[in-house]
Amino acid sequence: MLLFFAPGFTDAQDEPQQAAIGKFDFKAQITWYTQRTYTDPWRHGYLIGEVTLNDFMFGGSKRWGTGLSGWAKSLAPVYGQRVISNTTEFAFGALIGDDARYRRSEEGGVVTRSLHATVSAFTARARTGYTRPAYSRIIAITAGTLIANRWRSDPRTGGDLTRALVFGVTDKIQDDLLREFAPELKQYGHGIWRKVPYTFRRHFDMGR
């Protein structure tokens, strides 16, 4: 939950594709791919936090006994998976005309917008303008998970590998929920942040 609400306390700008997404645009696809894969600091911060939390919850932090190298062993496959997955989605999407960039809901209501974000994680817009299953994303998640799994010191097998594939999909749902509610989260976070100095000054004055 902390990782979900963290963007609400940041000053990160909305992603370029949020302003207006029209027909399939290869140049816009490159910009979107570059930002979400390499240049967005908040995505990197989120990924680091997710890996660290996962290690604490599932015992991976035992590897940290070797210092930073142990932590890096957890982080490297996840970063590699993100790069492979995004690159595969971009390349295959450009080939078949999948535009999987997120489009915020034009409807009101938390439930309606949440359903829109959830469905959007599995769909893309074709060159014809119609919405269809996001084939490029499904292939990308599978490829990223299987290839990055080979880099792990303890490769997942069986049920663990299946869960990793499922989590790869749910991560996309979480990403789209963040994009959908980012304006409200930022406004809420900024409101709380502005109250911090006032509360501090109030307690300081009462203590004198």
The domain total for the chain is 1
pLDDT tens-digit map of 58-78: 777 776 777 777 788 778 878
Cα separation of 63 and 144, whole Å? 23
* Reported pTM: 0.69
Of the two residues 74 and 91, the one the predictor is more confident about is 91
Question: Is residue 13 situated within a structural domain?
Answer: no
pLDDT tens-digit map of 103-157: 889 888 899 999 999 999 989 998 888 899 999 998 998 888 888 778 776 777 7
**DSSP single-letter state for residue 13:** P
Cα separation of 179 and 103, whole Å? 9
Residue 50's domain comprises: 21-182
Question: Is residue 203 situated within a structural domain?
Answer: no
DSSP element (H, E) containing 124? strand 123-125
